[in-house]
Amino acid sequence: MKLHALGFNEWFEAHATEFRRDAGGIARVSAVDRGAYLIRNESGEVPAELTGKLSYLIESPVDLPCVGDWVAVQYYDNDTAAVIHGVLPRKTFLRRKTAGVNVEFQMIAANIDSAFIVQSCHFDFNPNRLDRYLAMAADGGVEPIVMLTKTDLISPGELERKIAVINPAHRNRILTVSSLTGSGFDEFRQILRPGKTYCLLGSSGVGKTTIINRLIGREAFDTKPVSGTGEGTHTTSRRQLIVLGQGAMLIDTPGMRELALVGAREGVDAGFEDLVGLSAECRYADCRHEHEPGCAVRAAVERGELSHERHSNYLKLRHESEYYEMSYLDKRKKDKAFGRFLKSYKKQMQK
């Protein structure tokens, strides 16, 4: 398999020259599991690890290789293992705030052409959470496609009602499927193109791994029985890139219990095109759509043209993103100051 079949196009070729000087080749990260890496090249998959120099130079988890990254590598042991020297620039990415109290970026995947945002039509369906995924995709320049699964568990009328509450700007990119009956999978396969990279995003139990098994045509990846509510349970434990038989690549990801955004103001705006379009009529160009006079967005809410819930969710996501961005920048300043202190201290001890 040639590198271009794995998505290595002219854009990456233009950024690879300086990396090739110090390494023996270019490969793509196909799996990451607790600091261990698998890379895929023309011959297949090879285990890899970071060089000591690269580990030392990394200042933030966002600089670590993630699934979908192109990396410069050097092979050893007859090309059965490799070390990673550097990470090529990312054309697109998916990232979120790390789970818990620590304010840091966590990379989900890189160099994605389209992301399928998966929600079950049963208990998992949540328009507010869907808005978060749409904002995350827009923040990284990834095309989002909404995928509603388990359509066999609801009536056609209920399915139409769920679609009606989704952001109007994304209703022409909604795919409805059932892994049980196979409904929607012909359309799904037509979307997938050879050499393109796709990602499945969603909560635990929405059926992401079952979707992959159905595409492959066999139980290649483990799934668990449905729970008492009819929903699936969490199975996938690592992010991995899978090359499908027709040449498209699909990245499976573990379900996300938390999805907070950091510094994603443009992504939030892009996920709320209808609301941002109204803001052009606001009295003030810097209107935050909260308490300012002459706010066209609040006026639309009062007229019933924009739902109160959607307006509130926009404000919540924007405030959250801005708050975490301030916390992140403050943390980076403190980390750099501490790093300078350590270097100064070491110099003094060497005298």
Check residue 205 and give its pLDDT.
Answer: 75
* Average model confidence (pLDDT) across the chain: 83
Domain extent listing, the chain: 3-87, 93-252, 265-337
Check residue 106 and give its pLDDT.
Answer: 84
Whether the pLDDT of residue 349 is over 60: the answer is no
pLDDT digits (tens, 9 = 90+) for 89-130: 999 999 887 766 676 778 899 999 999 999 988 778 888 888
**Highest mean pLDDT: which range of 20-24, 70-74, 290-294:** 70-74
Three-state SS string over the chain comes to CCHHHHCCCHHHHHCCHHHHCCCCEEEEEEEEECCEEEEECCCCEEEEEECHHHHHHCCCHHHCCCCCCEEEEEEECCCCEEEEEEECCCCCEEEEECCCCCCCEEEEEECCCEEEEEEECCCCCCHHHHHHHHHHHHHCCCEEEEEEECHHHCCHHHHHHHHHCCCHHHHHHEEECCCCCCCCHHHHHHHCCCCCEEEEEECCCCCHHHHHHHHHCCCCCCCCCCCCCCCCCCCCCCEEEEECCCCCEEEECCCCCCCCCCCCHHHHHHHCHHHHHHHHHCCCCCCCCCCCCCCHHHHHHHHCCCCHHHHHHHHHHHHHHHHHHHHHHHHHHHHHHHHHHHHHHHHHHHC
Mean pLDDT calculated for residue range 67-81: 93
pLDDT digits (tens, 9 = 90+) for 289-303: 988 899 999 999 999
Fold match between domain 3-87 and domain 265-337:
no
Whether the pLDDT of residue 229 is over 50: the answer is no
Higher pLDDT, 226 or 258: 258
Q: Which CATH architecture has domain 93-252?
A: 3-Layer(aba) Sandwich (3.40)
pLDDT digits (tens, 9 = 90+) for 157-198: 999 999 988 877 777 789 999 988 999 999 999 999 999 999
| Overall fold of domain 265-337 | Ribonucleotide Reductase Protein R1; domain 1 (1.10.40)
Going by CATH, does the domain composed of 3-87 fall within 2.40.50.140? yes
pLDDT band at 347 (very low <50, low <70, confident <90, very high): low
Q: What percent of the chain has pLDDT over 90?
A: 40
pLDDT band at 148 (very low <50, low <70, confident <90, very high): very high
Check residue 272 and give its pLDDT.
Answer: 83
Mean pLDDT calculated for residue range 1-26: 84
